[in-house]
């Protein structure tokens, strides 16, 4: 046993010398490498250190590696994280919705970019009472009926309205919409006349939309519409009524309040084709709409239009509640003045209606 021990020690010593020689040869090869990162990794491998290239973070080096950046102070990561958290919190904070932005898809995050179909004017169905039904409609060029029609003072009135976006710029600064509104008055309780539809008005529109996005004193100018609109009742003489207009509509908002100002110009027609040449006397040259929506979802709308010089026009008040029956809201409407429908453009009356609506103007 004593003779074997020196031989084993000699073998181990010889193996160590061989390892040292091999390591020295490898290290000399590492020394020849020009790239600092590769040279350091080679040293780690040659000497048996673990970590590979990860060791560069723990091993000091006099030479900066290619593409490396100076280390930030210890407080910088915490400060950057805090800044990022603040930015994310601000980004995720719920902003008050824009009444005009939602209805007209003015904001980049609202609506489909390829095609958008949405509400236009209010859509509703109501039971409506009139203090003075127009049982003998007339116009200066077509005259009137041979005799009055016995109308009920209570009837059903409904309207549906929608618009579709035909084109928009990538920024949504500009867009083109097509819109359609139809309003009907139905003598639903009038058995003597076989419950007829007394009047149905058709109103297609083509609208070019521009988003100004200007603000002054907290009031934002969000919308400019340039529209071409036709309205008619599709009836024969002497009850035919129609007109064509071009308008500019300016939309402003502040928090839950919106204001729409819309002057218009009527295209003149030849005297032999004009069913209602004096329509601007009663409808005037524009309308103004004020709308307020409470945080609980009640919407109040006041619309006025008319001809100031002639002292004629109309005012309409609408109130809708939050949804009470599926998507339907409670709806209340009061109208007073001229032109509740096209056949009544020159007829003054007051009406009151109660029912359900799908949407408001905004």
The residues that are catalytic are 230, 232
Stated as kind and residue range, the H or E segment containing 262 is strand 257-266
Note whether 157 and 184 are within 8 A (CB): yes
Residue corresponding to tokens 């009524």? 241
How far apart are alpha carbons 354 and 320 in whole angstroms? 10
User: Would you give the end-to-end CA distance of the chain in angstroms?
Assistant: 104
C-beta neighbour count of 97 within 10 angstroms: 11
| Nearest to 353, CA basis, from 79, 126, 138, 70 | 126
Q: In Å, how far from its chain's centre is CA 175?
A: 12
Note whether 301 and 318 are within 8 A (CB): yes
HSE-CB of 165 using CA atoms within 13 angstroms: 21
Residues sharing a CB contact under 8 Å with residue 283, sequence separation 6 or more, in sequence order: 305, 306, 307, 313, 338, 339, 345
Residues sharing a CB contact under 8 Å with residue 237, sequence separation 6 or more, in sequence order: 142, 275
């Amino acid at each position: 046993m004593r003779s074997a021990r020196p031989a084993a020690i000699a073998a181990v010593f010889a193996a160590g010398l061989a390892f040292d020689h091999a390591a020295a040869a490898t290290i000399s090869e590492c020394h020849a490498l020009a790239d600092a990162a590769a040279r350091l990794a080679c040293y780690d491998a040659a000497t048996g250190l673990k970590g590979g290239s990860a060791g560069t973070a723990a091993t000091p080096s006099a030479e900066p590696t290619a593409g490396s950046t100076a280390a930030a102070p210890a407080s910088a990561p915490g400060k950057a994280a805090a800044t990022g958290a603040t930015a994310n919190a601000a980004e995720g904070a719920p902003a008050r919705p824009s009444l005009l932005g939602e209805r007209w898809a003015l904001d980049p995050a609202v609506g489909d970019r390829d095609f958008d179909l949405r509400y236009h004017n209010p859509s509703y169905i109501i039971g409506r009472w009139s203090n003075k039904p127009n049982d003998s409609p007339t116009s200066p060029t077509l005259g009137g009926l041979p005799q009055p029609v016995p109308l009920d003072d209570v009837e059903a009135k409904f309207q549906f309205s929608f618009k579709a976006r035909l084109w928009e710029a990538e920024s949504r600064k500009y867009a083109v919409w097509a819109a359609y509104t139809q309003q009907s008055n139905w003598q639903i309780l009038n058995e003597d006349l076989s419950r007829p539809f007394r009047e149905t008005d058709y109103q297609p529109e083509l609208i070019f939309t521009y988003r100004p996005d200007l603000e002054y004193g907290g009031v934002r100018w969000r919308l400019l519409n340039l529209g071409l609109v036709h309205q008619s009742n599709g009836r024969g003489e002497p009850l035919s009524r129609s007109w064509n207009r071009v308008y500019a509509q300016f939309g402003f908002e502040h928090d839950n309040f919106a204001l729409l100002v819309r002057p218009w110009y009527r295209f003149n027609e030849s005297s032999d084709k004009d069913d209602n040449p004096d329509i601007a006397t009663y409808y005037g040259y524009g309308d103004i709409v004020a709308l307020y929506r409470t945080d609980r979802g009640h919407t109040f709308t006041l619309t006025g239009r008319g001809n100031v010089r002639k002292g004629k026009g109309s005012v309409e008040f609408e109130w809708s509640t939050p949804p009470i029956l599926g998507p339907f809201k409670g709806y209340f409407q009061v109208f007073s003045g001229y032109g509740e429908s096209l056949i009544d453009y020159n007829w003054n009356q007051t009406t009151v209606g109660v029912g359900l609506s799908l949407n408001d103007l905004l």
